[in-house]
Structure 1
């Protein structure tokens, strides 16, 4: 097969990133306050619902991944899941974004759960499919690097919708912005999912199909290389998660920067991640994916210290520093998924050498990694917010926080990301599947092919 993926195939495969990634910001930033403030659900209920759905959603991913591994149809292995996921996601988006005042907690729970299941179906089918598009070490960095850039574009586009709608329709609170984001995602789902299903080739042939087997889950989790990857992914998800969870609090209270200016900083942060993505791809091809992932971990952790060291009132310098802090934000997600694609090859070779059936676990591998990433993004709020309460921090706008509360917030914003970034770099540096090792793995696979 051709080792380099054609641009039209790569763009079509990346297409579903747009609706899927566009949901990330609304689900964290805009929908919770909309449900609590505009739709009338109690604040505590909203917090419980959004957290509970995420917790329930995490174990669903391995189940979906195992089902994908056993799928063999005339349409291929991942196309049916992509198409079905598009329908499920569209239904969930409609129910969640178009909900009316007076909505019940039961309605909100099942609507959110439907949305997350559809999100997982598309996300897992897409990422596992991406591992099949090319067996080449460097090309996989390009594939998932482009995927990350598409995610960043979607986040930037949806970030622009609420302020535009607030200016166009200032008298209706958050409702116009939420509805517009919903319509934006709904319009993208059929266009991108159908394009991927019609244009993208199947890629490398799948291994032996099978049903759901707990033995496969145990075998995947027992692989020390998988444990290393999962540990690094968890840490590299927690680091930016802490930044996001404490971002507004830190800049509006410690730095005394207006919320609108802080939002502009956030836009520069994501833009820097988008523009830097090609550089990380080139670095991965030249120096190795694991080395660039280690560099990203150190960069993300150290950037917090640099931001803290800037004097108060230096908004321009802060903006530059925060943009530099965003430069590595796109790297871990695509580098670790490209590394997982290499690990899938190594696992197939291990099974062949042991004389075991070449059971398909690509979907399961990516599902477990996705579950780890979701856990990594759920941890920061669950840990940092209670600690902020213990140190006496008041999150209300304009609240007078004393020096000890601000010091506690600053410590959480700076120190844990630094330590976790260093730990992640140490972990991922030990990754054994280098470009040279992967070349040997592919050669052995080709030589021993049945």
Structure 2
């Protein structure tokens, strides 16, 4: 696995270096060793403080050593800081007690965070990653807590897996430091932007190996934290057991870390895990349900109906489905000039699309309008809330299929790529446009 990963480039990534400079305005970051360019000329001396001036001197050079291993902060995220964040998260999200209520001897998940070992370079990298957004540290810690909880139930007393989940959870998004912040902040991405964003697990795994010195299990967890068992994850579209145990656990934990933050989290998680079986390992899903069952029984969730027009949402989903069906029929017509390569890819995605369509129909939300006069206000409110959850999950699955086509289109010749992008646009809800060389910019995708 590690041999297939790219190496950190000799020339500093401008987005990473700018994030380091931004953090240096808040806390001291210094060069831990002399910096030489690829011609052997020393351009900066050890001990120099990182600043905008350092950025200007470094950014135009190829370096003997990557800048990532040559910087150090005196204030990396401490065990005490990670514990504080973890305790805040557990206090605010009581449902996590079901997942994180374990101990191995005297060790608890919070203790794991307080004592996880990392090098000086790794600590600096994590500090820069946490500084990127206000929620970055909280998301990382939440993901690590959930991953450790699932790992403990799945492979009790497996210290290597537990360590990989602790470090993998904390570091899983460090690759985003290499991505243009404008891309990270965008609500919708063009295909070219999406392909850039989708590289962050690969970059993160390379940083885990070359900067942090993490073991192979932790590297794979970071590389695979957006892979799904059904093959519609990224960056490698792996399926089932081709994803490592650590990758499967961290992928599920990453999904749950977003859902637990939302109102009525139990209900959202329940719908998300049921609506499309096969995305995650069934045994892991069953374990999560078991871990949450007691907590859910004790909780009283407040269900708030969405303000959006549910009927309009139903209509929107049906239109998107119709658009996909139309483009599929056109591309697969015996008289179409579609190449065999495209037909194989479209057929594979369409099979998965048919499963999404079936899942949507099975929920019954399309018939909600018929129930308006037959339910009392509480029942109607709950039905509308469930419908909102279903729409979100269905839209997310269609988006995943669209992203898969975009990634495959990026590896094909122009005509084949345009055919795939037409279907990708329909899946993402983007209006169809004429097939031109600029069509890549007309498919809007949501970052995950």
TM (norm. structure 1) is: 0.24
Query: In proportion to residue count, which structure has more helix?
Result: 1
TM (norm. structure 2) is: 0.24
Q: Which has the larger radius of gyration?
A: 2
